[in-house]
Amino acid sequence: MMTETDTTAPTRLPAEANEAAEIADSMITLIRLYHSIKSRLVNPAEADPSPLFPLIRLVKGGPTRAKELAEQLCADPSTMSRQVASLVKHGLVEREADPDDGRASILVPTDSGITWVHQHYVNRGEAIEPIISDWSAEDRATFLRLLRRYTLTLEDRREDVIATMTSNHTLHQRLHDVPPQARSERSN
């Protein structure tokens, strides 16, 4: 049985599929590692840290309406509304009249919000530095370039990925609907 830490990929797949599967496995392992680190740092009783994502998006992308922000983050509008309310309450975001439509409002990060995001980036960089401290400048630049490319392409092709994962999930569900005896008979 293959686990997420196995480095061997199934050999029946074409080389590109093996590489893609290994990249996916490494990404999942990376996400789980960071999740396990984060879970050791965050007290479950603390407030939900998810408003951080809309704040970062506003600082990086500029002022926008809550609806567009929810779409960019693939978030439910009611969830986004709660997160924005928290950001406004803490003085990290302000609502301003939309210059294109005075009836609507746009979300604008405050100076405090911008400072908070900047400090967050500094803190994250300090956390990552020990991991890459012995990498050459070329390795760092290559990793950053490829990671940015991967992230941008994932964002551009998000709907394709969702469609593929949905299809695979449906296939996986159908496999579980087959009685175990029938599955072993099929594989013989």
pLDDT tens by residue, 152-177: 998 889 889 888 888 876 666 666 66
Residue 58 contacts residue 113 (beta carbons within 8 Å)? yes
Examine the pLDDT at 9 and tell me if it is beyond 50. no
Q: What is the mean pLDDT of residues 31-46?
A: 72
71-121, pLDDT tens digit by residue?
888 888 898 999 999 999 999 999 999 888 878 899 999 999 999 999 999
Q: Residue 135 — very low, low, confident or very high, per pLDDT cuts 50/70/90?
A: very high
Helix axes 111-132, 52-61, angle to 10 degrees: 100
Examine the pLDDT at 15 and tell me if it is beyond 50. yes
Q: Residue 166's pLDDT is what?
A: 86
Examine the pLDDT at 182 and tell me if it is beyond 60. no
Q: Which long-range contacts (CB under 8 A, 24 or more apart) does 151-157 make?
A: none
Examine the pLDDT at 55 and tell me if it is beyond 90. yes
Residue 53 contacts residue 70 (beta carbons within 8 Å)? no
Q: Which amino acid is at 96?
A: E
Q: Residue 51's pLDDT is what?
A: 80
State if pTM tops 0.75. Answer: no
Place of tokens 């309450």: 89
Of 19 and 178, more confident: 19
